[in-house]
A and B are shown apart, each in its own frame.
Chain A
Amino acid sequence: MPEFRLPDLGEGVTEGEVVEWRVSEGGSVARDQILLVVGTDKATVEIPSPYEGTVDAILAAAGDRVEVGQALIRVRSSAMDEEISRPDRVTAPPAASSETPHLRRRAGDHGRVAALPAARRRAASLGLDLEEAVGSGAGGRVGLADLVPKGRRVALRGSGRVMAQRMAEVHRHVPQVTVVLECDVAAVEAVIARRGPDRRAKISILGLVTRAAIEGLHAEPIFNASLDEERLEVIYSDAIHIGIAVQTSEGLKVATAKDCGRLAAYELQAELDRLVVAARNGKLTAPELTGATFTISSGGRFGGLLATPLVNWPNLATLGVHQIEDRPVVRNGQVVVGRCANLSLSFDHRVIDGMTASGFLYALRDRLLDPSLLMS
Chain B
Amino acid sequence: MTEPSMTSPARPTVGAPGAQLLEGALTVLGDEPTSRVAHLLSLPQELPLALFSAMARLRAFDERAVILQRQGVIGTYPTYFGEEAVQAAGVLALSNEDWLFPTYRQTAAVTLRGCPPEVPLLMWRGHPGGWHDVMRYRVAPICVPIATNYPHAVGAAWGAKLKGEKVVALAFGGDGSTSAGEFHEACNLAAVVGAPVIFLVTNNQWAISTPISKQTRVTRLADKAAAYGMPGIRVDSFDVFACFEAVREAADRARAGLGPTLIEAVGYRLGPHGTADEPSMYRDQAQAGLWAAMEPLGRTEAALIEAGLADQQQLEQIRKSAAAALFDVADRLAATPLPPIEEIADSVHLRTPWSLSPERLHEPKWISNG
Contacts and interface: CB of A to CB of B under 8 A. Distances in A.
A48 B70 contact: yes
Which of A89, A107, A111 counts the most B-chain CB atoms under 10 A from its CB?
A: A107
A179 interface: no
B369 A93 contact: yes
Given A42-B276, A43-B277, A110-B145, A134 B355 contact: yes
B369 A92 contact: yes
A322 interface: no
B365 interface: yes
A94 B363 CA distance: 13
A21 B327 CA distance: 23
Contacts of A90: 71-73, 330, 333-334
B283 to A, nearest CB: 14
B3 interface: no
Contacts of B72: 5-8, 90-93
B365 A94 contact: yes
B275 interface: yes
B330 A43 contact: no
Contacts of A91: 71-73
B272 interface: yes
* Interface SS of B by simple majority: loop
A107 to B, nearest CB: 5
B73 A42 contact: no
Nearest to A85: B334
Interface string B329-370: 011011100000000100001000111100000000110111
B70 A31 contact: no
A32 interface: yes
Contact of B354 (A11, A93, A107, A132): A132
A100 interface: yes
Given A9-B276, A99-B365, A132 B353 contact: yes
B75 interface: yes
Interface string B59-103: 000000001011111011000000000000000000000000000
B194 interface: no
B193 interface: no
B144 interface: yes
A341 B275 CA distance: 58
| Range for the number of chain A residues in contact with chain B | 35 or more
A47 B72 CA distance: 10
B104 A107 contact: yes
A86 B75 contact: no
Contacts of B366: 94
Interface in B16-72: 67, 69-72
B76 A7 contact: no
B275 A9 contact: yes
Contacts of B274: 108
B208 interface: yes
A10 B331 contact: no
A45 B331 contact: no
A108 B369 contact: no
Nearest to B370: A89
A152 B353 CA distance: 14
A90 B67 CA distance: 14
Given A43-B276, A132-B355, A107 B368 contact: no
A107 B331 contact: no
Nearest to A45: B70
A94 B369 contact: yes
Nearest to B352: A132
A222 B272 CA distance: 75
B311 interface: no
A42 B70 contact: no
B278 interface: yes
Contacts of A152: 354
Contacts of B331: 86-87
Contacts of A107: 75-76, 104, 144
A111 B145 contact: yes
A6 to B, nearest CB: 8
B75 A104 contact: yes
Contacts of A44: 278
A131 interface: yes
B75 A43 contact: no
Contacts of B333: 90
A7 B125 CA distance: 13
Nearest to A109: B144
Contacts of A5: 72
Nearest to A111: B145
A129 B330 contact: no
Contacts of A87: 71, 73, 330-331, 334
A205 interface: no
A50 B330 contact: yes
Interface in A2-18: 4-11, 13
B62 to A, nearest CB: 14
Interface string A156-181: 00000000000000000000000000
A90 B332 CA distance: 11
Given A91-B71, A103-B344, A107-B144, A11 B330 contact: no
Contacts of B356: 132
A332 to B, nearest CB: 65
Contacts of A11: 75-76, 276
A133 interface: yes
A5 B333 CA distance: 18
A47 B73 CA distance: 12
B320 to A, nearest CB: 14
Interface in A28-71: 31-32, 42-48, 50
A13 B67 CA distance: 17
A95 interface: yes
11 contacts: A7-B70, A11-B76, A31-B327, A48-B70, A50-B330, A90-B71, A91-B72, A107-B76, A132-B353, A132-B354, A133-B355
Q: Which 7 A-B residue pairs are closest in the complex by CB-CB distance?
A: A7-B72, A132-B353, A10-B276, A43-B278, A90-B334, A91-B72, A86-B334
Given A48-B67, A94-B368, A132-B355, 14 more contacts: A4-B71, A8-B72, A8-B75, A43-B278, A44-B278, A45-B275, A86-B331, A87-B71, A90-B334, A92-B72, A94-B366, A100-B365, A103-B344, A107-B104
Interface of B: 67, 69-73, 75-76, 104, 144-146, 208, 272, 274-278, 327, 330-331, 333-335, 344, 349, 353-356, 365-366, 368-370
